[in-house]
Amino acid sequence: MEHVNLFLPEIFLAVSILATLMAGVFLKNSYTLVTNITYGIIITLILIIFNSFSESFKLFSDSFTSNSFTNFFKILILIGTFFIILITQNFIKETKINYFEYSVVLLLSVLGMFIMVSANDLILFYLGLELQSLSLYILASLDRDNSKSNESGLKYFILSSLASGLLLYGCSLLYGFSGSTNFEIISLNTNIENIGTVFAMVFILVGLAFKVSAVPFHMWTPDVYEGAPSSVTSFFAVVPKIAGIAVFIRFMQIPFNQIADHWQPILIFLSLASMILGAVAAIGQSNIKRLIAYSSIGHIGFTLAGISTNTTTGYSSSIVYISIYVVMSLGIFSCIFLMKRDGKYCENLNDLSGISKSHPILSFSLLIILFSLAGIPPLAGFFAKFYIFMAVIESKMYMLAIIGLLSTIISAFYYLRIIKIIYFDDASKSFDQIKNLGISITLFLSSIILITFFIYPSFLNTIVEKLIIN
């Protein structure tokens, strides 16, 4: 088949999953699979890089698309997954979680995300979405001996099933009123006068908003983040968000392009509600993972603000924002996996009291990451918000920009409160010394990227603007 090499990353990933399943049967120590899995991710990354970034191709009766936009997001997904595997090795090894099950389900989720991102057809998109979702259900409740993990898995399963049902209903309505499941044909057959497609669009947006934890479909996020094993929480906080934003952009750009006047107010509401709740609700949190959950909701609000402009600048700013968010999230979770005291991982903010005296490097890294999350210049987080605000102001959405700025100021309070606990509170017992090369590399790279981003801040924006979105 012509251009079948464009589908090779998905084929290789699927074969890798099957090979891992077979290897798990014969290998006594499933933890040794980590090397093969990381090699598999690197090879998949290389296959994507060798794909064409200058042209757009469609395969399988135009249901699967490959272009620079899809390739960029796949690379981002793989980078996020690779570093999460690196930083969670020790945690998985020390807990009762089966590494073999964890790695296989993780790769299945990534395969689902790949299909979602490249889908140019409602049926293929939903298949990818369900493959991702089913994998995430399992991951959330992977620690079977922990009641909190079981509870989080059940909550996510019930609520996500409802969201998936609404999304599937929206897809069926869209097919009924447009006469096709192909994105391009749907775009040609949808218009403002077609009320049926507007109803379908609302149901699909509800499902997508749930997947990226946008308010008011965020209710699962804090509980799942807190209850799931920290290794799974780190994956939840980073990788599915990348795929979710990619799908948001593709739907707004192609099938719903003709009815932008209807979906823009919805996205503006989702953005405003997410930014406000993410800033306010995080203030009273004492658990670090719950705080990160509300923080991620706020950051998704900023990303949706860029998409809501329905401009090339807005889409580019959202892609830049989610890229920098991935770096910041990997950094913060690297720090969490270094917070171990008396053989137990710490999750409470008070456990950080005065650690600057005993752990200066960890404290400084946290300082950089938290300042960046707060959007304080000249760190990368500031430029991420700056590009969003510029896109919103260019589109004359002044109210969105003002509320976004106010929510940034409010959210800075709880980030600065953590820094105050680290540097100014009475010193508590120091953490255990953890020597992990993967965590050290991830923390170093994320800190360096956040610090040096100001040297050439337009570099990432220049790359993103060249992406082909069609």
Band the pLDDT of 470: cuts 50, 70, 90. very low
Rounded to the nearest angstrom, the gap between the alpha carbon of residue 289 and the centroid of all alpha carbons in its chain is 15
For 9-41, the pLDDT digits (tens) are 888 888 888 887 877 777 665 555 655 677 778
pLDDT, residue 88, reads 85
Reply yes or no on whether the pLDDT at 191 is more than 80: no
pLDDT, residue 391, reads 92
Longest dimension (CA), the chain: 66
Mean pLDDT in the chain? Answer: 86
What does the DSSP 8-state code read for residue 433? P
Reply yes or no on whether the pLDDT at 2 is more than 80: no
pLDDT, residue 35, reads 59
DSSP run (H or E) holding 410? helix 398-424
The pLDDT of 227-250, averaged and rounded, is: 90
Reply yes or no on whether the pLDDT at 114 is more than 90: yes
The pLDDT of 80-105, averaged and rounded, is: 82
The pLDDT of 103-131, averaged and rounded, is: 91
Band the pLDDT of 346: cuts 50, 70, 90. confident
In whole angstroms, what is the distance from residue 168 CA to residue 74 CA? 24
Q: Where are the domains of the chain?
A: 4-465
In whole angstroms, what is the distance from residue 387 CA to residue 382 CA? 9
pLDDT, residue 303, reads 94
Residue entry with tokens 């509600």: 273
